[in-house]
Each structure stands twice: as structure tokens, then as C-alpha cells.
Structure 1
């Protein structure tokens, strides 16, 4: 049992602990009076307001020196990189299974929406073979040359909404990065090669993979709002010997002064990607006879060899 002498000591400790938070005798909260807390809060309020004002002032001064249309400092016009669509450097699918290549098809269709006829009507019919030079007035909206998806012919997705993937002859789209003020000399075109002993035939759209000069120069995103990059479509005409193999494809920009052999940058004026097309039948043959829908058009699945039973398919309407 606690003695009577211990009780005052315990009460004194409890009172001391409470007083450290709030002392009713002096009116102090956490050891400070109300006026002391007010002065501290006022100091930090003024201090941080000053810092915020200094930050806003320096940002405002810096933004005054920037141009909304072009970068302020450009020591040189760099060479453009080359990129492909669908947005993958490893393309692999089974041509007999629509679900495996539907993602590539949807990506290409979405990417080409800006190249539709209705979108390109607002752009200009330009003179081929000449740079489309315009007034350098910064606040003037620049005109852009038309590039219709129909220029891509068999790889436009108009006549073949599967872009050749269902027949094992896929299309890939190539474009150069946009660079303000770039005016390449000569007649730039894109050429692709597969790293294997036997060459693979390819079709280029537009013809010969040409990138016309009329799509240069580019004036920047704000001034050139309706600008679309010229595309080159490459249709890989693979055959049975090429199926079930991983093929490495290298595409380069040729025929101009653009750099395409910088060992420090593998994507400068070129791009390397891998593609593997399989022709194996699905694990469940019945599934191959099902109709599949792409972009509201119905296509029948490929015919199956006889395995002791008959699978019927429908013809497209």
C-alpha cells in the first residue's frame, strides 16, 4: 500500500505534467503565452510570404525571357530520331489468333485518326518537292500540308482494317521526330532491311518510302497546331519460311544530309525492331471458326484442316 507521504508526490507529478501542456496559473500553452505564440506565427507568416514572393518574382522574370513558339536557345538543329507504330520494338503475334494482334491493330487505327480525310480537309494542298516556307511572324498561325491516310494505300487501314496482320504480312508505320526549323536537303526516304541471309520483300507507301520536302520546316506546336508528321508505311511480305522466327529489321532515313549512323545514339535517323509472326493453329480448333469483329467489320476466321469433323464458317456480309 502507498503511504500518506507518497500521495502528495504523485499528485505533484501529475500536476507538473499537465502544467507543461497548459498552465492555468500563467496562461501558458506549451511553455508560451498567447502573445508569444502570436509573434512567432506572425514572423513565420511574413518570412514564408517573402520567400513565396521572391520565387514568384524570379519565375515571372524568367518567363518573360521565354518564347511561346520556339526555344530561346538553340545552338544547332539536331538530327531527328526515327520511331515506329505500333509503339513497340518487339512485335510478336499469331496470325491465326485475332486476340494476339488486335492490340497492334487498335493502336494503328487510333494513331491514324488525325490523318483521316475529314481531319486533313483544313490543311493545304502543297507543291511537292519544295519546302513550305511561311511568314516568320511569331504570332501567326502556320498552315500545314495535307497528309491523308489514303497515301498509305494497303497500310492505311481503309481497305484492310487489320493492316495485314491477319494474313501474316504486317504493316509498320515510321515517322521522324518533329524538329523546329529542320529543312533536310536532297530527297529523304526510308529504307528497311532484315538482318538475315535471304532478303524479305517489302512494299513502301508512299512510293519508294519518300518523305516529301513540302512537310518541312516545322514551326512548333503552338504555331503549327494542325501539322501532322509525314509517314512511311512498310508492309513486310513474309512467307512460310519466315514464320516462327524472330526477324530483326533496321530502318534508316536515306537520301539526305540527315545523320543515321551515330554509334552513340541508336535511334538517330534509324530504328531497329524485332518481329515474330507465328502461323500455329489455336489450341482449340473450334475457336478458329468464330467470327471476330474489328472496327465494326466482320471477317471469317481462317479455314482449318480436316481433323475428322467439319467446322463451318460464314462469309462476310
Structure 2
């Protein structure tokens, strides 16, 4: 019995010893000293971290990133935002989602004329180079929605979907991270359909041209009003093409921008499917 009492007492003393005043084997002064040590130690670490971050931030530029080699080439995306465009040309409810998406995209993404009027009327075929001295904010070249012609949604509010000849809009989606990009050559969009008989297409602007005046890009903060140029492609499908799933591939051609990397199917190109039901 006495042994049991001693064991219980010993177990309790390991947490608090009333004879010495120790808690978990340490006196109050010992606990105060060790807590003070860790407080000073972690304050020192936090101060070193804050100092390091402060020095690092001093080396950064608000307008130009220090390293700009993360995304070497732009990709290509389409609007409407779907890689499988299937609709019945005789049923407005079947293609209304695509029409509404295109109209919303052209209105909400600052491509409408009221927004673009604030931008500069640039010289076609020439890079829009701007001096880095003085005000770091850069001007943007004007993109005219009317340059998309029948695919602009201005003259044909259905973007050709009601007649089975749909329009798609293409843009380079990685231009913005690539500050200073100046493609060598004359970039343009070219689309092909993987079938025996080629399908005629119309490009707007003509020949699917991506004008040099939209390059280079100076960064999100400096180039606040910049918007990527668009190229519209109208697929001139015939009755023979209806009720068939047609794979379409569009590439950026005519420049040093890469479009044949098998590891990245969206680098300089995009593939989508179109099926029109009669």
C-alpha cells in the first residue's frame, strides 16, 4: 500500500513538486529564462527575415520584373471558350451560348470602341516602341472592333452561327507575361481542317495578320490599357460538311514564335472541333 502511495506521489511530483516549487522539472525562474531565450531567438529570426525581404524588395522594379524567361513563347486560345463547338444552325437556343459569349467578350474585355478610343492610333507594320524615361506608364495601340468585319458582331449579331458558317476569335494568351516580346517576321494566324477536301475560310483582319504595332508589351502596371489583338476566322462550311465533327487546327505562322512543341499543344497553336447540325 505504501509503495502505491509513493508511486502516485512521484508521478504527481513530475508535474508539480510542492517541496521545490518546480513545474515539469523547472522552477519559475528557470521557465522565465528559457521562455525569454526563445522569445529573443524567434524575434531575431523574424527580424532577419524581414530585413532580407526588405533588401530583396529594394532590388525589384514595380514596372519590369527582374527575371523574364519563365514563358518564352505565347500560346493561342479561341473564343467562344470551348474546344468542342457543336450546334444546330436552325435552332437559336443551340448556338445562343456561343453568340452571347462572343458578344460579352468583345464588350467586357475593353475591345468595344468607346474603350479603344482612348488608345493611340498607331502606325501599322511597325513596333510601337516607347521611351523608358520619365513616366513609366505606356500608351496602347487602338484595336478597332470593326476590323473583324462580319465576325465583329456589328453587322451580323449572330456571328454567322445562324447560317452554319461560324466565326471564332483567336488571340495569343501568353503575350502579357512576356515583357518586351518583339516577334521577328510578320506573324499571322493560319487554320486548317483535317479532311480530304479543304474548307475555305475568311480571316479578319485580312490574311489573319497580327500587326507588329501591338508589340512590345511593357507589363501590367505600365501598360494598363493594353489588350491583345484579335484575329477572326469564319469557317465557310457547306452542306457536305454538316453533321460531321471537323477538327480544326490554328497556328501562329510567319515569325520566330514557336508552334511545333509536342510537349505543349497550346504553344503557338490550338486545336478545336466544330460540328454543325442541319
TM-score, normalization by structure 1: 0.74
Equivalent residue of 1:131, what SS? coil
User: Which range moved further: 74-83 or 216-225?
Assistant: 74-83
Deviations 1:102-140 (A, max 9, x none): 444444333322101221121011122222221122742
Deviation, structure 1 residue 263: 4.3
Quick check: 1:77–1:181 contact (8 Å CA) kept in 2?
A: no
Tell me, in whole angstroms, the C-alpha distance in 1 between the residues paired with 2:230 and 2:58: 37
Deviation, structure 1 residue 76: 11
Q: 1:1-317 counterparts in 2 under 5 A?
A: 6=1, 14-73=8-67, 78-95=72-89, 101-112=95-106, 113=108, 114-137=110-133, 139-176=135-172, 177-178=174-175, 179-279=178-278
Tell me, in whole angstroms, the C-alpha distance in 2 between the residues paired with 1:105 and 1:48: 59
Equivalent residue of 1:42, what SS? helix
Deviation, structure 1 residue 235: 1.7
Equivalent residue of 1:188, what SS? strand
Equivalent residue of 2:34, what SS? helix
Deviation, structure 1 residue 43: 1.9
Larger C-alpha radius of gyration, 1 or 2? Answer: 1
The runs of 5 or more residues in structure 1 that have no matched partner are 1-5, 280-317
Q: Which has the higher contact order (CA 8 A, sep 6+)?
A: 2
Deviation, structure 1 residue 101: 4.3
RMSD: 2.9
Deviation, structure 1 residue 204: 1.4
The runs of 5 or more residues in structure 2 that have no matched partner are none
Deviation, structure 1 residue 168: 3.3
Quick check: 2:68–2:179 contact (8 Å CA) kept in 1?
A: no
Distance 1:46 1:107, change over 3 A: farther
Distance 1:258 1:33, change over 3 A: same
Equivalent residue of 1:119, what SS? helix
